[in-house]
């Protein structure tokens, strides 16, 4: 009966590599642990042991997946890109900038408030608001 769980574990592990669902990795670990437990436990109890391992590993897999997903945050491709200032509102300290063919609202985090036509660099992005750093020597191309 142990070989059934070894085959199930191998199948789940290979399926996990193909699909990337991460939960099949928990099933594979539960199957391998069940096969190992089959050395000491009667074969008739192995399906119950497998179910217990699956239930016990579920919260571990969920927490591990959340932890790994948090660590693999993709970098924002807009950071470091150059924008051209098209308008300045001195009373609200907000800028209108041209970036990727459309107008964006922006604020200056470092440097002086630029004049229209100057360029700045995106340092961060909050929703649809760009945070900029102004390069004093930069001229639009």
pLDDT tens digits, residue range 69-126? 776 666 778 888 899 999 888 777 789 999 888 899 999 887 788 888 888 899 988 8
Helix (H) or strand (E) holding 107: strand 102-110
pLDDT at 72: 65
pLDDT at 137: 56
Assigned domain for 141 exists: no
Q: What is the CA radius of gyration of the chain?
A: 28
Give the number of domains in the chain: 2
Indicate if 21 and 40 belong to the same structural domain: yes
Indicate if 97 and 61 belong to the same structural domain: no
9 vs 29: CA distance, rounded Å: 7
Assigned domain for 76 exists: no
84 vs 69: CA distance, rounded Å: 34
pLDDT at 101: 86
At which of 71, 90, 121 does a domain end? 71
**For strand 119-126 and strand 82-89, is the pairing parallel, antiparallel, or unpaired?**
antiparallel
Assigned domain for 94 exists: yes
């Amino acid at each position: 009966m142990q070989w059934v769980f070894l085959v199930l574990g191998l199948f789940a592990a290979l399926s996990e590599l193909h699909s990337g669902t991460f939960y099949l990795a928990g099933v594979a670990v539960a199957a391998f642990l069940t096969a190992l437990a089959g050395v000491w436990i009667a074969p008739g109890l192995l399906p119950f042991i497998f179910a217990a391992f699956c239930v016990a590993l579920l919260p571990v897999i969920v927490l591990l997946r959340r932890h790994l997903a948090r660590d693999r945050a993709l970098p924002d491709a807009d950071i470091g890109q150059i924008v051209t200032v098209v308008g300045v509102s001195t009373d609200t300290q907000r800028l209108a900038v041209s970036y990727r063919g459309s107008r964006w609202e922006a604020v200056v985090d470092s440097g002086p408030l630029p004049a229209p036509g100057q360029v700045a660099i995106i340092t961060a992005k909050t929703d649809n608001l760009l945070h900029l750093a102004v390069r004093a020597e930069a001229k639009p191309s």
